[in-house]
Structure 1
Amino acid sequence: MPVPLADICHSSDPATRAGCFKLAAALIAALLPRLSPGRARLLLGNTGTHYDETAAELEGYSRALWGVVPLLAGHRAETSGVDAALIAQIECAWRDGLINGTDPAHAEYWGAVRDRDQRMVEMCAIGFALTKLPGVFWEPLTSQQRENVARWLGDINGREMPRTNWRWFRVMANIGLRTVGASTYSAEVLYADLDFMDTFHVERGWNADGPVEEGVKQMDYYSASFALQFAPLLYVCDEVAQRDDAARCQRFRKRAAQFAEDFVCWFDDAGRAVPFGRSMTYRFAMVAYWPALAYAGLTDAAAKPLNNAGVTKGIWARNIRWFIGQRGVLRDDGTFSIGYTYENLFLTENYNSPGSPYWAFLALLPLALPSTHAWWRSEEKALPSSELPSIKALKPPGHIAIRHGGNHAYVLSAGQQPAYRMRHGAQKYCKLAYSSAFGYSVPTGASGDEQHALDSTFALSDDGGETFKVPRQLRSAHLDEARGCLTSSWMPWPGVLVETWLVAPAPSSLAWHVRAHRVTVTDAAAKTTVPAALLISDGSFAVSDRAQQGEKRRLEQRDQVGADSIYTSSSTAFVASHKGAVGIRDITLGSASESDKQRTQGVVVPVDASSNIIAPRTSVACLQKTLARAPGARHILVSAVFAMVPRDDTVGLSTDEIRKAWEVDVEVPKWLEEALSA
């Protein structure tokens, strides 16, 4: 009986060249039965997108190329251990798909590209295929077939494109056309796109997803592995670019090497990334930057300890292992689900089709590296956390990154905002903190705090908790590197101003950080009809709230903090399971008015199922309180927020471990008291 493809994936170690080929071959083999008769479309499911079904089915075919091309390139260069018949089947299938998908007379024709069309995104991988393997995807084609491919791909040059990372997709398409000598290649468009994308750069390799001068404040994994670092690292490998665009290539190399020192802050020792921003269903595409750095020959140019191939390979390999090891990532047939660690449509965007998760194949680029390359010759190494800062300010994205014991990486965040009204954009960019272990949550509905899923969020309600306002666009944001503090402000309603201070933890107590919120009802509120009260809620991270053993029911309330328990009081909320412990404590001091000294109520909210990106059943520890909403009123809440992650989540944290960390006396800095009183 054949071994299920999902089982082969689970048993394959990406850290070795043979294991990586085995994994990639199994993931791609799982797609073969899902290809259409003409091999031009990949049929993986029935969920919808804002673009047409033909483009969605093209997306599946095209994104698989990010794995198919390195697999074929590496196998052609030297033995890979993959069955030759399977390699031949994969090669023929994706070549036939290109031929038929670009043939206007074929039933599976992809259709002509239009302005701002999803087809533009998928042209990127096809351009890469022509660049890397013309012997597979160009030379065997007839003259008519070549003309069809060149015409279809070249149509991108006459169309309007978004002012975002999409411009790289046209660059890659043009490089492919240039490589094969197609007449539809446009040098004018290529260099205009490259010049335009230079306006995205902020500093130290960070790119916004659009022109900085236009106020774009979105820096996420598109700024790194998904596009804006990955694609330039492919560009600098192009021989024509090296010869004719040497100065730009040098800028890209310098920025890429600089970026490593900041980007590593988004990963913990277990290989988990800090989920932040959109397109989280691309999963281990998050680590594609690290092998791309090696592909471009730039690992040695990074700062220590990231100038070691074994270290960067370790980040990459552990991330892939972690994702493949999550029970909901692969279906039984070896295909990807839509989601993060489990199948979950709540977290997705309206552009996520069943084929979208295959952007993850960007991370399979090392298959194209020879066995003699340092990437494969180096032993995988643990992330040397002792050589990395435990607290680091990341100015461009507006983050303060914290590394707690190596097994937990999290960021405090202020200043980012989605560039358009994407689904759950506020939750993906504007929460107060994001965690490699606890992730983030998104709303499942709009009725009550359970559905709003208010983890790592300061939220306000003017209808008694039926609906809540959270920040999506800020009035101001500032990073004070000297004090380790992020400040921000926003207005949930006219006449109500919310100011927040996020203070990095003390190096001796990395499980805690401080938040301070000042809510001011301005005189402008007197001109409007306003409710008499506001309900506020300040939330911790969300943690799995299920018992590890037995019936795995929800954890029970206890009379004190400890392992596998829920605890609440008038000023405290806490919940711990084998996945970790989270909590929040009211530490409001003399800077508050007398009414604010009346303690908040600690509440553990069992948020709606499947709201969290990592765990399907979670709870959030919250402080909640009702405020008067009279014109001129000012209210202050200062919270100490707790998070602790076990080294081994099959064992969890002991009560002694938790209490030792919990009983720390968290102090409010004097400067913060003064700022709140001002």
Structure 2
Amino acid sequence: MTVFDPARLLLPPEDRVRSPHTGWTREHWAAVADHLLLSLKPFFTPTRSQVRLPGTVSSSGASSDGLEAFARSFLLYAFRTGGEHGTDPLGFTDWYRDGLVAGTDPANPERWLRPDEQPQVQVEAASIALGLQLTRPWLWDTLDAAAQQRIVDWLALSPPSRYPDNNWLWFRITVETFLASVGGPHDPARVAADLARIEDYYQTDGWYADGAFRNYDYYCGWAMHLYPLLWAGSEGAETFGSGALAPVFRGRLADFLDDYAALVGADGLPVLQGRSLIYRFATAAPFWMGAMTGASRLSPGTLRRAASGSLRAFLDRGAIDARGLLSVGLYGEWPAMAQTYSGAGSPYWASKGFLGLLLPADHEAWTAVEEPLPVERGDVRRVIRPAGWLVSGTASDGIVRVFNHGADHAVEGDRTGDSTLYARFGYSSATLPPATGATIDDPADNMVGALDAQGRSTHRTGFARGAIGDDGTAAFATSTADAHWVDSSIGGPAYDHGSGREGLVTDGPRLATASVVRGAWEVRATLRLPREGVSEDPVRLRVSGWPLTGAEAAAADLAGGGVVGGGVVLDLDGLRSELRALSGAAAASAHTESGTSPIGETTSIPRLEFDAVAVGDVVIAAVRLGRGSEPAPSAVALPTGDGTVVLETTWPDGAVSTVRLG
């Protein structure tokens, strides 16, 4: 039997027969869950109603953060105990029972904030309600009537409160449904309205936006696909029409998982994009939900391989610290990774990734032999139309890339700065944009922007989406931005919920950009268009490529800078970021900065700068992220006479792709 020490994670031996890719089984997941729970014990307050963790304090305050750590770890406990049918050898049922009773006692000095006192509590109320649903026979049913009533009274303060127009509506539905199941106050009309509003977020092909904006990120999986099917299977949901909705939700999840599995790299890391990445392996939740509900065309072995790969990838990179805690960061601790709503307890929403522990040990998701991910079977090229994404995974290096012409955490016409985690042209499972520093006002990587007198680049947030598709040879997508500079030091907000910064805006040129993608290469072409009210004087355009981050700067080779075909090749431990000019002369450089990324100390980015770009001019570059070397494609822009151009790309094997731009 494995013995757990809160200061050290001990795991059972790997099973390379059942799990040839990761070596991990249900026993490994259980060991990690138990280690995380045991490591929290020293941080429970005396009445056990809060878990006060050291480190970052959110904008909601320490008391809210203490509840957050309790509620999110309670969800982990619920998955662990529910999957064992109430068996709890570590004694956590008593700990959480005590905390529930004390937290909802108005006379307790360590009582929980009420949902009508602090909006963040509405989120945690949903975890409390869901945990109670999942452990009902062993926890809720063992409480006396007075304790049950205090919990009902506390939860009942949540639904009437104001909720943001996004995934939070599922939190309200979850609370109301639990209240309905125990005879508490609830409003069927409000539940119906919330369900209808969430339906507005649905796009196509299994994808939801997280609200009314172009918010495409992991909330689609760990919120918009997790809660619907947990809700549909919960006691009380049938009174709100779950019977008719469950098949719809299952069909959408199956469609989503077809795309979602393609976003996981061979090393288990997901494409690093979007806010709240400190939740880390919460990305595993949709895979387990597919296994639980049968809502997947992927095999059980593929689902577990994806989920276990994600957990291992983050743990191998230091997600659990020496104290046994999940720190605020991506790999290890890096507090600047947090949004302002994130406190020291926030990372415990990684608990969602342990959903699979609800499945018994003899479930096929645990007994099936692991099967390879899509990128391990061969090269992957997908078009995710709702998000405006092109996905390209290469089996030779296991890297998955997303080329983005649809997400910016904004709406068309917005004039904010670019969010580093949403508005870049490219994201991957092997790279992350610089998150702090000058990049906030001067986008550093995977961009095309005009430069001002100080050398700062324009932003693209609020762009208009264009064509997207695949011609059988390559995938393509286009978008057009009214480029603008943003000085966030003037009038910018003090909070960060994932969107780009506001500030003093100066209009720049209109830029139409196309990405044509095949394998590790992207041909990125930008046409300058006229823009009313903006000078048509020539501008200097910067094209930047993939960031490489490590302990030191990447080795740089500026090959033939200043001539067509010249550019920059960066190499960091065999991973290469290439940027080659395919049109006109360009000045090549390698930009390096330190302390701005959670995945390493130093980030290097290749850049090309094109002088005197006039209205009607096109700049073209070939951009690559991968290992080893490959011949680059070539491309030419052919004028059509109507103000547009046709971008003609010729690939090394002679295949040709054409895309209209402008």
TM-score w.r.t. length of structure 1: 0.83
Q: Which position in structure 2 is the counterpart of 1:256?
A: 253
Q: 2:33 aligns with which of 14, 24, 40?
A: 24
Whole-angstrom distance in 2 between the partners of 1:555 and 1:241: 54
Percent of aligned pairs with the same amino acid: 22
| TM alignment of 1:431-450, pairs within 5 A | 431-445=424-438
Q: Summarize the Cα distance change of 1:57–1:569 in structure 2 as closer, same or farther, 3 Å threshold.
A: farther
Equivalent position of 1:666 in the other structure:
634
Contact kept in structure 2, 1:443 and 1:452, CA below 8 Å: no
Q: Name the structure 2 match of 1:650.
A: none
- Match runs of 1:115-514 below 5 Å: 117-179=119-181, 181-211=182-212, 216-224=213-221, 226-238=222-234, 240-241=236-237, 244-298=241-295, 302-303=296-297, 306=298, 308-327=299-318, 329-385=319-375, 390-405=380-395, 407-419=398-410, 426-445=419-438, 452=442, 454-465=444-455, 467-482=456-471, 484-491=475-482, 492=484, 493-494=506-507, 496-505=509-518, 510-514=519-523
Provide the C-alpha distance between the structure 2 equivalents of 1:626 and 1:4, rounded to a whole number of angstroms: 61
Partners of 1:452 and 1:10 in 2: CA distance = 45
What is the alpha-carbon distance in structure 2 between the residues aligned to residue 432 and residue 222 of structure 1?
Answer: 20
Which of 541, 549, 569 in structure 1 is aligned with 2:546? 541
Whole-angstrom distance in 2 between the partners of 1:415 and 1:554: 31
Stretches of structure 2 that go unaligned for 5 or more consecutive residues are 15-22, 485-505, 639-645, 649-657
Counterpart of 1:584 (choices 579, 582, 593) is 579
Go from structure 1 to structure 2 and tell me whether the alpha carbon gap of 1:502 and 1:390 turns closer, same or farther (over 3 Å shift): same
Q: What per-residue deviation string (whole Å, max 9, x for no partner) do you get for residues 218-245 of structure 1?
A: 1211111x20001112123225435853
CA separation in 2, counterparts of 1:238 and 1:481? 41
1:338 partner letter: V
Shift of residue 422 of structure 1?
Answer: 13
Shift of 1:494: 3.2
The match for 1:592 is none
1:386/1:42 CA distance change after superposition, 3 Å = closer
* 1:643 to 1:207, Cα distance in 2 relative to 1, 3 A: same
Contact 1:10 1:325 in 2 (8 A): no
**For 1:6 and 1:380, how far apart are their aligned partners in 2?**
31
Partner of 1:652: none
Match of 2:624 in 1: 642
Deviation at 1:27, TM superposition (A): 1.0
* SS of structure 1 residue aligned to 2:533: helix
Compared CA separation, residues 148 and 5, structure 1 to 2 (3 A): same
Aligned pair 1:97/2:99, yes or no? yes
SS at match of 1:525: coil
Instruction: Tell me whether 1:608 sits opposite 2:594 in the alignment.
Output: yes
Determine helix, strand or coil for the equivalent of 2:348: helix
Structure 2 CA distance for partners of 1:288 and 1:484, relative to 1, 3 Å: same
CA distance in 1, matches of 2:562, 2:571: 15
Q: Indicate if the aligned counterparts of 1:70 and 1:368 stay in contact, CA closer than 8 A.
A: yes
Q: CA, structure 1 residues 77+57, in 2 after alignment: closer, same or farther (shift >3 Å)?
A: closer
The letter of the residue matching 1:279 is S
The Cα shift of 1:377 comes to 1.4
CA contact (8 A) 2:377 2:395 kept: no
For 1:150 and 1:239, locate their aligned partners in 2 and report how far apart those are by CA, in whole Å.
Answer: 16
- Deviation of the 1:477 alpha carbon: 3.7
Give the Cα–Cα distance (whole angstroms) in 1 for the partners of residues 372 and 661 of structure 2: 46
Distance in structure 1 (CA, Å) of the matches to 2:228 and 2:634: 44
Structure 1 segment 72-111 matched on structure 2, within 5 A: 72-76=81-85, 84=89, 87-88=90-91, 90-111=92-113
Name which of 27, 43, 59 aligns with 1:50: 59
Question: Are 1:524 and 2:520 matched, yes or no?
Answer: no
1:98 & 1:12 partners in 2: Cα distance? Answer: 36
Report the alpha carbon displacement of residue 269 of structure 1 after superposing the two structures with TM: 2.1
Query: Please, what is the CA RMSD of the aligned residues?
Result: 2.9
**Structure 1 or 2: more strand by fraction:** 2
Q: Which whole-Å CA distance do the structure 2 matches of 1:230 and 1:388 have between them?
A: 29
> CA contact under 8 A between 1:115 and 1:159: conserved in structure 2?
no
Instruction: Give the residue type in structure 1 aligned to 2:386.
Output: P
Q: Which has the higher helix share?
A: 1
Which amino acid in 1 is paired with 2:25?
Answer: T
User: Residues 605 and 621 of structure 1 are in contact (CA less than 8 Å); yes or no, is this contact kept in structure 2?
Assistant: yes
Please say if 1:38 is aligned against 2:47.
yes
Change (3 A) 1:168 1:205: same
Contact conserved, 1:208 with 1:217, CA < 8 A, in 2? yes
**How far apart, CA to CA, are the structure 1 residues paired with 2:439 and 2:317?**
29
